[in-house]
Structure formats: structure tokens, C-alpha cells
Amino acid sequence: MKIAISATGPSLDAEVDPRFGRCQYFVIVDPDTMEFEALENTSQMASGGAGIASAQTVANKGVQAVLTGNCGPNAYQTLEAAGIEVITGVSGTIRDAVEGYKSGRFQATSGPSVDAHFGMGGGGTGMGGGMGMGRGMGRGMGRGMGMGPGMGMGPGMGMGPGMGMGPGMGMGPGILEQELEALKAQSQMIGQQLSEIMRRLDELEKKGK
């Protein structure tokens, strides 16, 4: 079997990169033989869709599991759809991460651990203010597609601020397609959240009668 680990360098002694979609390298390791292949992450500077593109890269390598520090919703959905186990919260060297995986020290993650734009840096063209709906709605969205404060339903029901695109990175070949896929995935998640909000509103209205 093979596992993919987000890495800061192309060796087993490199540190685990806490960002999956925007890590510097992917180290593909056979845990039984410790043979490995290092791939430079060509999506790390993309203006959008880095998580999906990175997930597709490791999926094409036939890995059964991904070990990383954090994994956003777009990457998580792509990996899950490919049947790849996702393990977050991993740190230390790549070698240590592999040993921890072999010893059963890690458990699979049940969802994304950060929002959709984790690791993109500051600045950029945000979409803050107005029409907000609270703070969070679980681990999936956080601050990814939020529209500012307002209409809060208590913790766990809203979408938070932000949608920053990071400092100007251009739109090279394939970036528009990646951005489109990322936005489609995010719109689907927002639709699901809106349905949950409406369901909860209906429940509260019935209880209030």
C-alpha cells in the first residue's frame, strides 16, 4: 500500500507540512518497505482550487491514506470520494508520521479540519460585510464563504466572514477550472447548510407554538 504525506521537503527527514492543498511537497511512502517518491506540489501557489487539485494528484498515485496537519472541505470531499482515508493533526518528520501510522497511533478524520481558504495568506479581495448568518456550522465551513455578521442562530449555524483570494497570483492554465470546481463544491455545502438552517428554524417555530 502507499500513503501520501504533506511535506516541507522531498525526504523522509522533512517536516510534515500543516497545509495539505498548499504544502510544498507530497511524499508518497510504502510503509512496509519505506520506499518513497517525492512530488513537488504544483498547486501550492494557485489562486483557487488548490485543495481539489492536490487531492487529485495524490489520488492518481493510488494512495490509500493521506497524512497531514490540516485538510480543508474541498480537498476532504475529493479524497473521500476517491476512497482515501484522511488523517489530520499529524506533525513531526515524515519518517515519524509513517511509524505512527504503522503503529496505529492515528485515527481517520471524520471531516475537514479547517475552512476552504486555510494557508492562502493575507490580503486579497475579500467579500466581507452584510447578510451574515452566525458563526460556523460545524467543522466544514468556518470562514470560507461567509458574508459577515448578522442573523446569528447561536453557535454552529452560520457562515462567518471572509472569502479572501490571497495576494494577486494570476490565473494560469487550469486555474479557472480548479476555481470553478471549488466554487461548485462550496455552493453545494452552503445549500446543505441552508437546508439545515431552515429545518432548525422550522423545529424552533413548532416548539414555540
pLDDT in tens, 2-58: 999 999 999 999 999 999 989 999 999 999 999 999 999 998 887 788 889 999 999
Number of domains in the chain: 1
- Predicted local confidence at residue 196, as pLDDT: 78
Whether the predicted pLDDT of 145 surpasses 90:
no
Whether the predicted pLDDT of 125 surpasses 80:
no
Q: Is 59 inside any structural domain?
A: yes
- Predicted local confidence at residue 174, as pLDDT: 54
Domain at 37, CATH number? 3.30.420.130
Q: Is 185 inside any structural domain?
A: no
Q: Is 83 inside any structural domain?
A: yes
Whether the predicted pLDDT of 68 surpasses 70:
yes
Q: Is 111 inside any structural domain?
A: no
> Model-level pTM greater than 0.75?
no
Q: Is 19 inside any structural domain?
A: yes
Cα separation of 200 and 190, whole Å?
15
Confidence band (pLDDT; 50, 70, 90) for 61? very high
Q: Is 49 inside any structural domain?
A: yes
Whether the predicted pLDDT of 127 surpasses 70:
no
The boundaries of the domain holding residue 7 are: 3-102
Whether the predicted pLDDT of 122 surpasses 60:
no
- Predicted local confidence at residue 113, as pLDDT: 72
Cα separation of 173 and 22, whole Å?
17
The predicted model gives 150-171 an average pLDDT of 43
Neighbours of 194 (CB within 10 A): 13
- Predicted local confidence at residue 43, as pLDDT: 84
- Predicted local confidence at residue 87, as pLDDT: 95
Whether the predicted pLDDT of 69 surpasses 50:
yes
Whether the predicted pLDDT of 167 surpasses 50:
no
State the chain's mean pLDDT as an integer.
76
Whether the predicted pLDDT of 133 surpasses 50:
no
CA angle centred on 125, ends 88 and 57, rounded to 5°: 35
Q: Which three-class secondary structure state does DSSP give residue 67?
A: strand
Cα separation of 76 and 173, whole Å?
24
Q: Is 22 inside any structural domain?
A: yes
Whether the predicted pLDDT of 121 surpasses 50:
no
Q: Which segment, 20-34, 46-60, 113-127, 189-203, is predicted with the most confidence on average? A: 20-34
Q: Is 67 inside any structural domain?
A: yes
Whether the predicted pLDDT of 123 surpasses 60:
no
- Predicted local confidence at residue 112, as pLDDT: 84
Closest CA to 23 of 1, 39, 47: 39
